[in-house]
């Protein structure tokens, strides 16, 4: 079970500014261990952010995103007290969903 995401969601002007720190090894599959064997690829494929039932951000990632990805974005239409939900799904089928409450600006 992966670590919880650390999410901060704040109002900046009329937009919601979201910063997410995800805990994921983002292994490319190209690195080799001490014995010379390739370490299996293990990375986040999809990120979905929803608010009020609507998708506000959708991302398709690959091996170029580094370990413990930090995502920073803004979207319109959210208000303090409302929830933002963030989900990721990786190439092994593992997933994680966390949510945060939007703080006042």
Residues 28-67 that bind another protein (CB under 8 A): 31, 33-34, 39-40, 42, 66-67
Q: Minimum distance from CB of 88 to another protein (Å)?
A: 14
The residue (of 66 and 97) whose beta carbon lies closer to another protein is 66
**Position 23 contacts another protein (CB under 8 A):** yes
- Spatial contact of 74 and 16, defined as CB atoms under 8 Å apart: yes
Question: Which residue intervals of the chain are DSSP H helices?
Answer: none
CB-nearer residue toward another protein: 27 or 46: 27
Distance CA 78, CA 9 (A): 10
| Residues 53-84 as b or e (16 or more Cβ within 10 Å = b) | eeebbeeebeeebeeebebeeebeebeeeeeb
Q: Which stretch binds another protein (CB under 8 A): 13-21, 46-54, 80-88, 96-104?
A: 13-21
The footprint of another protein (CB under 8 A) covers 3-4, 6, 19-21, 23, 25-27, 31, 33-34, 39-40, 42, 66-68, 70, 72
């Amino acid at each position: 079970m992966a670590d919880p995401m650390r999410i901060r969601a704040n109002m900046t002007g009329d937009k919601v500014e979201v910063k997410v720190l995800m805990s994921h090894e983002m292994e490319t599959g190209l690195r080799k261990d001490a014995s010379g064997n390739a370490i299996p690829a293990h990375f986040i494929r999809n990120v979905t952010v929803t608010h009020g039932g609507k998708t506000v951000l959708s991302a398709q990632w690959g091996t170029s995103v580094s370990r413990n990805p930090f995502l920073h974005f803004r979207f319109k239409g959210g208000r303090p007290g409302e929830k933002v939900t963030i989900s990721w799904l990786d190439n092994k089928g593992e997933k994680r969903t966390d949510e945060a409450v939007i703080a006042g600006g």
